[in-house]
């Protein structure tokens, strides 16, 4: 092809259809992220806007797109704009998104002890590392762990505005709220179901979140009152289910998936923790708790296996030390897995329909 041969938008789109980012799982044309194509005699202008945070990958995407178009451009220059922007996405029953929060993502598990809270915090930090504005809500009112994992000093309390609004505590670039900020570390929270659900609603609706792309909600394990309150009262754009490969954990994970399905909340994917143990001496990988379970459940429910994390002492020690893996060792293999999983969940969400925003909160100044 030369400058004298015709070139049209259809030919450009055909070439672009070969670009399938792993995070997205489909080509950029089918994903609808090509905003505009302008073909001129000596130049082609292309505007690509991805719907998920991917700041660290933009240059790699640019190189790949330029290479794909080289054969059809032939002598023409390429003016390529590639960027990303997060939109609010459709929620259950068409609920309007929260004021100042585009997308609420619930991180859930059918049972305790599978690493759900560690996963939730690392996913939040991973989204933040790729440029998103992220908040974390610790919805486990009985056993809050967010403050410990983020290294928030015991006794830290959120400021209160106008006697009604909590000001989230910002730590490591995340806006955060937890029952752990409202009670002493050694004080047990004794609530009956309705009061626990009320505490969750208060933390969600009376916190002054500021322009968040994502609010990651670390759910308590199981499918009880708090989970149902979230599903019925709070606009949720999608859920992530955390499990281990063990059969008993998978059975409980399926219960959580079924709950989300019945309440019309999309399950964006599954994360399998403790998928294998890697020997620190020889590097041998051993599937201590079995293998393939997360993938089978994802296939059965037509969702995605977002990632498989190893049984790792470092992940546990870093979370206990207040600097989770994505923060403590950003280039390490476990952090890379978390970042890949976070991009995949955000990219899968970007393929769903957009939703409506809530009316902005009105605050009277005195």
* Per-residue pLDDT at 226: 78
Tell me the two tokens of residue 158: 């959120």
Per-residue pLDDT of the chain (366 residues; tens, 9 = 90+): 455 567 889 999 999 999 999 999 999 999 999 999 999 989 999 999 999 999 999 999 999 999 999 989 988 999 999 999 999 999 998 888 888 999 999 999 877 778 899 999 999 999 999 999 999 999 887 778 899 999 999 888 999 998 889 999 999 999 999 988 877 665 545 455 566 778 788 888 899 999 999 999 998 887 777 788 888 889 999 999 998 887 776 788 888 888 898 889 999 999 998 876 666 666 656 555 556 677 888 888 889 999 999 888 889 889 989 999 999 999 999 999 999 999 999 999 999 988 665 545 444 443
* Per-residue pLDDT at 240: 95
Q: What string of DSSP letters covers 55-114?
A: GGGHHHHHHHHHHHHHHHHTT-EEEEEEEE----B--GGGPPBPTTEEEEEEEE-SSSSS
Q: Give, in words, the CATH class of 92-350.
A: alpha beta
Q: Environment class of residue 205 by beta-carbon count within 10 Å: exposed (0-12), middle (13-18) or buried (19+)? A: middle
Q: Which residues make up the CATH 3.30.300.130 domain(s) of the chain?
A: 9-84
CB 362 within 8 A of CB 40: no
* Per-residue pLDDT at 282: 65
CATH node for 9-84: 3.30.300.130
* Per-residue pLDDT at 151: 93
Q: Which residues make up the CATH 3.40.50.300 domain(s) of the chain?
A: 92-350
Phi and psi dihedrals of 179, rounded to 5?
A: -60, -25
Tell me the two tokens of residue 294: 């997360």
Rounded distance between C-alpha atoms, residue 262 and residue 226, angstroms = 16
Q: What string of DSSP letters covers 273-323?
A: -S--EE-TTT--EE-TT-SSHHHHHHHHTT--EEEE--B-HHHHHHHHTT-
Give the pLDDT confidence of 66-84 residue by residue, as tens digits. 999 998 998 899 999 999 9
* Per-residue pLDDT at 144: 84
């Amino acid at each position: 092809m030369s400058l004298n041969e015709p070139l049209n938008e259809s030919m450009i789109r055909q070439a672009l259809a070969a670009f399938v980012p792993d995070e997205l799982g489909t080509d950029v044309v089918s994903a609808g992220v090509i905003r505009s194509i302008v073909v001129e005699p000596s130049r082609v202008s292309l505007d690509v806007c991805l719907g998920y945070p991917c700041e660290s990958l933009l240059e790699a995407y640019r190189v790949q797109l330029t290479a794909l178009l080289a054969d059809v451009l032939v002598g023409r220059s390429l003016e390529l704009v590639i960027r990303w922007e997060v939109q609010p996405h459709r929620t259950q029953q068409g609920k309007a998104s929260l004021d100042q929060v585009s997308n609420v993502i619930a991180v859930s598990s059918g049972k305790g002890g599978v690493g759900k809270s560690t996963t939730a915090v690392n996913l939040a930090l991973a989204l933040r590392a790729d440029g998103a504005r992220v908040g974390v809500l610790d919805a486990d009112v009985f056993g809050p762990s967010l403050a410990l994992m983020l290294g928030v000093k015991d006794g830290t309390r959120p400021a209160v505005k106008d006697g009604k609004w909590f000001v989230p505590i910002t730590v490591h670039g995340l806006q955060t709220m937890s029952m752990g900020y409202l009670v002493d570390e050694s004080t047990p929270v004794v609530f009956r179901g309705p009061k626990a659900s009320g505490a969750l609603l208060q933390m969600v609706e009376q916190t002054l979140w500021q322009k968040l792309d994502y609010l990651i909600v670390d759910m308590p394990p199981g499918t009880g009152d708090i989970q149902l309150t979230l599903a019925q009262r709070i606009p949720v754009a999608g859920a992530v289910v955390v499990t281990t490969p063990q059969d008993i954990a998978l059975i409980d994970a399926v219960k959580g998936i079924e709950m989300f399905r019945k309440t019309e909340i999309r399950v964006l994917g599954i994360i399998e923790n403790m998928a294998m143990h890697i020997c620190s001496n020889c590097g041998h990988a051993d599937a201590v708790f079995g293998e393939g379970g997360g993938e089978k459940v994802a296939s059965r429910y037509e969702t995605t296996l977002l990632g498989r994390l190893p049984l790792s002492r470092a992940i546990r020690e870093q979370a206990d030390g207040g600097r989770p893996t994505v923060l403590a060792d950003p280039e390490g293999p476990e952090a890379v897995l978390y970042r890949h999983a976070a991009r995949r969940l955000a990219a899968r969400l970007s393929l769903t329909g957009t939703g409506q925003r809530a009316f902005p909160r009105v605050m009277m100044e005195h």
